[in-house]
């Protein structure tokens, strides 16, 4: 990239509002592959490269948390060979990409039932989380074997257990202790995505961050995930910059 093009891109980014927490539903890998007459898994492989690129773009833009929906609790319904390929992706990804994550000060975290994944996937994920644990830059938060409804039920169970053992009364259940028991509890005030992107033209949240997306701005694009690049990232931020976030209140100029 030329010096001047780089400068121009930097100055455009500088005029944009940057979401503190960006969440992405990475959809369209299968359709991308079918369009190229390739097997579906080729789309997932290309999608993994997009993960690398978007991680760098988000980190450079100043995003503080990037949550990516990599495998849902419903994805087990796919053909066994596709599931097995998807399970190998984190292994390949972290084997190749941890040095870059270190260089960019990115910390890896996860949400979901990781321990039920195949042993080598669990090992690769734990290793990446441990190796990057001291990094202080962007948090790259992978949802793996994650479902929003299951997450809410599990928080309810944890609080109910405290009520049953007498350490909490039902009246003491509030937003704060409920949120602390969600998979995003460790993110504190950054738990709720400011912007949620879904690629490939589908317009639904598919059980991703169901509780946390209450006030998220939603951005849908027809671009398939393997094709999602810098210009598409910038277009999403431009749309977000124009949104008027009121959180149920009034815009200051209307008061
Ligand atoms: C949706 O496309 C995508 C997935 C279910 C998997 C997403 C995973 C990646 C992009 C790679 C993850 C990388 C790491 C490092 C874990 P789809 O198969 O539903 O596409 P379709 O709707 O066109 O069939």
pLDDT (0 to 100) of residue 246: 80
Whether residue 193 contacts residue 23, with contact meaning beta carbons closer than 8 Å, is answered with: yes
Per-residue pLDDT at 255 exceeds 90: no
Does the pTM surpass 0.75? The reply is yes
Total domains in the fold of the chain:
1
Whether residue 17 contacts residue 194, with contact meaning beta carbons closer than 8 Å, is answered with: no
Segment holding 171, helix H or strand E = none
Closest CA to 207 of 116, 133, 140, 145: 145
Give the closest residue (by CA) to ligand 1 atom 18. 30
pLDDT (0 to 100) of residue 137: 98
Residues contributing to the annotated binding site: 27-32, 40, 44, 72-74, 76, 78, 198, 204-206, 217
Instruction: Tell whether 63 is covered by a domain.
Output: yes
CATH code, domain with 62: 3.40.1180.10
Exposure of 80 by Cβ count < 10 A (0-12 exposed, 13-18 middle, 19+ buried)? exposed
Give the closest residue (by CA) to ligand 1 atom 5. 71
Instruction: Tell whether 10 is covered by a domain.
Output: no
**Mean pLDDT computed over 68-95:** 95
- Ligand 1 binding residues, C-beta < 6 A: 26-31, 44, 47-48, 51, 70, 75, 86, 89-90, 93, 142, 200, 225
Per-residue pLDDT at 209 exceeds 90: yes
Q: What is the pLDDT of residues 227-249, one digit of tens each?
A: 999 999 999 999 999 998 788 88
- Which domain does 114 fall in, by range? 17-147+189-244
């Amino acid at each position: 990239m030329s010096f001047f093009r780089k400068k121009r891109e930097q100055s455009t980014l500088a005029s944009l509002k940057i979401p503190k927490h960006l969440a992405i539903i990475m959809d369209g890998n299968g359709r991308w592959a079918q369009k190229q007459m390739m097997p579906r898994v080729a789309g997932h492989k290309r999608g993994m490269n997009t993960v690398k690129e978007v991680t760098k773009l988000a980190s450079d833009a100043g995003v503080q948390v990037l949550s990516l929906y990599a495998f849902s609790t419903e994805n087990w319904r796919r053909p066994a060979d596709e599931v097995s390929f998807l399970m190998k992706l984190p292994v390949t990804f972290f084997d190749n990409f941890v040095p870059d994550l270190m260089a960019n000060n990115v910390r890896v975290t996860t949400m979901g039932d990781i321990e039920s994944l195949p042993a080598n996937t669990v090992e690769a994920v734990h290793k990446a989380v441990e190796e990057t644990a001291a990094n202080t830059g962007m948090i790259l938060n992978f949802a793996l074997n994650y479902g929003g409804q299951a997450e809410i039920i599990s928080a309810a169970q944890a609080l109910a257990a405290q009520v049953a053992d007498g350490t909490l009364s039902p009246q003491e259940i509030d937003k704060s202790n409920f949120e602390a028991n969600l998979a995003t509890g460790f993110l504190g005030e950054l738990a709720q995505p400011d912007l949620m992107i879904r690629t490939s033209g589908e317009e639904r949240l598919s059980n991703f961050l169901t509780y946390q997306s209450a006030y998220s701005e939603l951005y849908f694009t027809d671009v398939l995930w393997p094709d999602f690049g810098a210009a598409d990232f910038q277009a999403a931020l431009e749309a977000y910059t124009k949104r008027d976030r009121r959180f149920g209140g009034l815009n200051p100029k209307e008061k």
